[in-house]
Amino acid sequence: MYEAMIRALGGHVMANPTSSSSWVQGTTHLVISVPISCEKCMCAIASGAWLLRPSFVEASYRAGQWVSEREHTWAAVPRDGDVRRKEVVEAGERAGVERMDVGKSLDLIAGWERVFRTIHGTAGTSAGVVGGAFRGWRVVLVGAANTSSYRNLLVAGGAEVVSDGWDPDTDPDAVTHVLVQSNRLDPHMAANDIVRSKTYSATLIIQSLMGDQPPTPVLLRRMSSRSFGTGSGSSAASSSASGSVNNVGAVPQTASREQAGYARPQRQAARVQSIDAASTGSTAY
């Protein structure tokens, strides 16, 4: 239904032919029945796209043209008096979402509002065009942090994934972030002060989108040869060091909604994704 409305208004329906739950690069508007912590919603936040209620498409179709997004964002629902919580709960019930984490949905809305303001400010630029939350990041994903979900989030936010895994020949100065899932590192990485200063838990990605506090530094430990399963049977004494906090690219706190305002996208370039929250099948964060 919404796809036909979007096309009638001259918009482009952005769809991944192999996975309906996957984010499509270049999307400017995400229309969702209820915000949930899935890959597609997180990518929308990272990219600076609009996060909208279905009423945006409905109102635009009735008007015969795109209406202002501001009144139809999920952040437009007032926070006072638990109004937003009630709206989210009711939307989840209508969408048939089971075991919905309302607190996460509310955090997601607040995160979108903060990141959107940070990316766009009061400039008249188009959503999804000026870069994203991770613009300027050059990232190495190490070990278990090298997943498609983390990679998709980084790319949606404008980051460049330099390599999968740490290459000893990598120039540390050419990398802004080394993301790991474990606090146990390759000894070549742990022995390099520059690399240590740029190493974070992969949860930095989510913290940069949703958190109000700076990310916690990773505790780095040099690993013994036995830890790598080399079969040598040797054991080296382990040493530890604290990775210093480096907030390059992390999304900062910004002005209030009333002070900041919102950007308006170019109408002729609206590229919309519409998803049913009850059947996304996406990875939760």
Architecture of domain 1-127: 3-Layer(aba) Sandwich (3.40)
**Dist. CA 30–CA 44, nearest whole Å:** 7
> Which residue has better confidence, 111 or 271?
111
- For residues 201 and 184, the answer to whether their CB atoms sit within 8 Å is no
pLDDT in tens, 226-277: 222 222 232 222 223 333 223 333 333 333 333 333 334 444 457 777 655 4
- For residues 283 and 149, the answer to whether their CB atoms sit within 8 Å is yes
* Residue of 3, 58, 32 lying closest to 282 (CA atoms): 32
φ, ψ of residue 80 to 5 degrees: the values are: -65, 145
Name the residue ranges covered by the structural domains of the chain: 1-127, 138-210
34 dihedral zone (left: phi>0; alpha: psi -120 to 50; beta): beta
Q: 135 vs 177, 190, 221, CA distance in Å?
A: 12, 26, 29
pLDDT in tens, 35-68: 988 889 999 999 999 999 999 999 999 999 999 9
> Which residue has better confidence, 64 or 190?
64
Residues 157-185 as b/e (b if ≥16 CB within 10 A, e otherwise) read bbbebbeeebeeebebeebbbbbbbeebb
**Dist. CA 198–CA 160, nearest whole Å:** 15
To which H or E segment does residue 208 belong?
helix 204-210
Amino acid (one-letter) located at 26: G
